[in-house]
Amino acid sequence: MEYLERIRAFIGRFLTLGPREALRKALRGRLFSPEELLPFARIDKAGLFTCDVEALHARDREKIRTTSFLMEASQVETSYPHHIEFESRILRYGFLPATGVRQGLVLLLHGHDAFLHMGPLRPWTHFDVLAPWDTFGYKRQGSWFWGEKGDNFTDRLIYKLLSSHLDEHPGRPWFAMGASMGGFGALWHGIKYGARAIYTQCPQVDIARKIHDFGETEPTNPYRHLRNPESGTLPDLLALANAASQLPPLMLIQNQFDFINPFADHAWRLLDIYNNRRTWYGLRVHPSIGHGGDGSQEEAELYFRSVLDKNPPPQFG
């Protein structure tokens, strides 16, 4: 009887969802338990609901220092084979065309310590991927895709790069994605230059706060390298969001006790602006510790396609 019920259920899904989706769900059910498929299942269990926050922060910092896989895997010539020259500076980048029907362009931005990052590893199905390599900033580790010492030359370089690709297809939708430093960059460029939507994980939001956290006079403070020592000029993402005529839809994923960018100190303040502006956002914050989350490029592509399916957004009333 149970076997017949399963057959009936599969036939129902087959007729309702179509053969491809019905088979995909059946296969997933065989390979994974329903619990394993949930986003919450992919969070580091050691960090969940713990009281010993500082000990886990120390553990995660040590893991970052000792992990060598990304360093060994980084191959500049293959990861970022292209370059542009603008204002006497060179910016390397990777570009991967979509493997299927193109629906837009994704600006994919890496995290801090540029030498650790391997560039775009695989093409997306429905979006071309444009991935600049930010080797400016303190010890060439990254300038938050903005610039150095009050001069936003990296910002201008990326705008030049992005514009050159978008000019080839006028009116083409583009999107921004990144984590940590790349999350800041995705928010900065996505808001400033009008991305259709943004997908970000554990982003820095307040650079001035980061300068304070790392030490106002500490010479190795990478955030301090962004500030003009005379005028104090810094990228102000919160002011940018407040002043923007329109905010892009946003998807944000983070752990609550992120030891680099605590949710309450960074992302929450940006979301407060989104709330005040009545702008759409999606949010997944886990009661966990660590600089990361459970986001993925697969989810980002699904999110971006969903935004396109609903654009222009429906008007009610």
Range 219-224 contact pairs with CB under 8 angstroms and sequence separation of 24 or more: 220/138, 221/138, 222/112, 222/137, 222/138, 222/139, 222/141, 222/142, 223/144, 224/138
Q: What is the pLDDT of residue 144?
A: 97
pLDDT at 121: 78
Whether residue 25 is contained in a domain is answered as no
pLDDT (0 to 100) of residue 214: 87
The whole-number pLDDT of residue 55 equals 77
Q: Please check whether residue 312 is in contact with residue 80, taking contact to mean a CB–CB distance below 8 angstroms.
A: no
Give the pLDDT of residue 207: 95
Please indicate, yes or no, if residue 136 is contained in any of the structural domains: yes
Domain total of the chain: 1
- Per-residue pLDDT, 71: 47
Which residues of the chain carry a pLDDT beneath 70?
1-40, 42, 56-57, 60-75, 311-317
Is 1 inside a domain boundary? no
Residue 7 lies in a domain: no
Given a contact cutoff of 8 angstroms between Cβ atoms, the answer to whether 261 and 291 are in contact is yes
Q: 235: domain CATH number?
A: 3.40.50.1820
Position 42 scores a pLDDT of 67
pLDDT for 7 = 59
Q: Is residue 283 part of a domain?
A: yes
User: Which has the closest alpha carbon to 136: 226, 213, 221, 220?
Assistant: 226
pLDDT of 316 reads 43
Domain that holds residue 183: 52-309
